[in-house]
């Protein structure tokens, strides 16, 4: 197994609540949901609430394959990305229930780039599965799915960069095979 790059560690850095509109958010997709790169992603590839992502300001796309909490590296999982400006910002239900979706930086000592796309109902964080009505959940995930870009295909092996990115923009990864 590969070790997470040292540049992923917080090293005393504090949470950064500022997201540039053009910043990318990387999400790993397991091969149980996306095994064939030629196939379209299914809406189940993204689940609410609290979608875990990595920030391009602090991480390269391949770093999203690291699960630092469980000491795993998913070397064959695909990576998709969405720009912050393309996250569907809100949905209304019956003109009363207002659902807002925001990105929050949630750094961990071993994973400083970690962030979450969170849902809020009438400004209250929804952090339990099943608390968002099915129609709102599905409509929002379908909108997000249309904005996702493939960054690393399933089974594509890339070199793991050890140094931090120099900007929030996409930096090309080196394909090994």
pLDDT value at residue 170: 84
Kindly state whether residue 137 falls inside one of the protein's structural domains.
Answer: yes
The whole-number pLDDT of residue 1 equals 56
**Does 174 reside within a domain?**
no
Q: Return the SS3 of 143.
A: helix
> How many domains is the chain built from?
1
Residues 6+ apart with CB under 8 A from 6: 162
The reply to whether 55 falls in a domain is yes
Tell me the C-alpha distance between 25 and 27, whole Å. Answer: 7
Domain hosting 54: range is: 6-152
Give, for all 177 residues of the chain, the pLDDT tens digit. 578 999 999 999 999 999 999 999 999 999 999 999 999 999 999 999 899 999 999 999 999 999 998 999 999 999 999 999 999 998 887 777 789 999 999 999 999 999 999 999 988 999 998 899 999 999 999 999 999 999 999 999 999 999 999 888 888 777 776
Measure CA 140 to chain center.
15
Residue 164 falls inside a structural domain:
no
pLDDT at residue 38, as a whole number: 93
Note whether residue 175 is domain-resident: no
Residue 127 within a domain: yes
pTM for this predicted structure = 0.94
Alpha-carbon gap, residue 147 to 154, rounded angstroms: 18
Judge whether 1 lies within some domain: no
Omega before residue 49 within 30° of 0, cis: yes
Helix-then-strand count for the chain, H and E: 1, 10
| Domain presence at residue 101 | yes
């Amino acid at each position: 197994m590969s070790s997470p790059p040292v540049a992923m560690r917080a090293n005393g850095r504090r949470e950064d609540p500022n997201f540039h509109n053009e910043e990318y958010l990387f999400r790993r997709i397991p091969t149980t949901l996306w095994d064939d790169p030629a196939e379209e992603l299914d809406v189940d590839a993204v689940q609410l609430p609290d979608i875990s992502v990595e920030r391009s300001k602090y991480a390269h796309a391949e770093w999203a394959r690291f699960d630092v909490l469980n000491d795993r590296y998913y070397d064959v999982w695909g990576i998709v990305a969405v720009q912050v400006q393309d996250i569907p910002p809100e949905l209304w239900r019956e003109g009363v229930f207002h659902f807002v979706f925001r990105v929050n930086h949630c750094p961990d000592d071993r994973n400083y780039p970690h962030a979450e796309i969170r849902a809020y109902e009438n400004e209250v964080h929804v952090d339990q599965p099943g608390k968002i009505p099915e129609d709102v959940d599905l409509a929002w995930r379908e909108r997000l799915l249309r904005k996702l870009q493939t960054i690393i295909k399933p089974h594509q092996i890339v070199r793991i960069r050890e140094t931090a990115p120099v900007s929030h923009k996409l930096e090309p990864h080196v394909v090994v095979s």
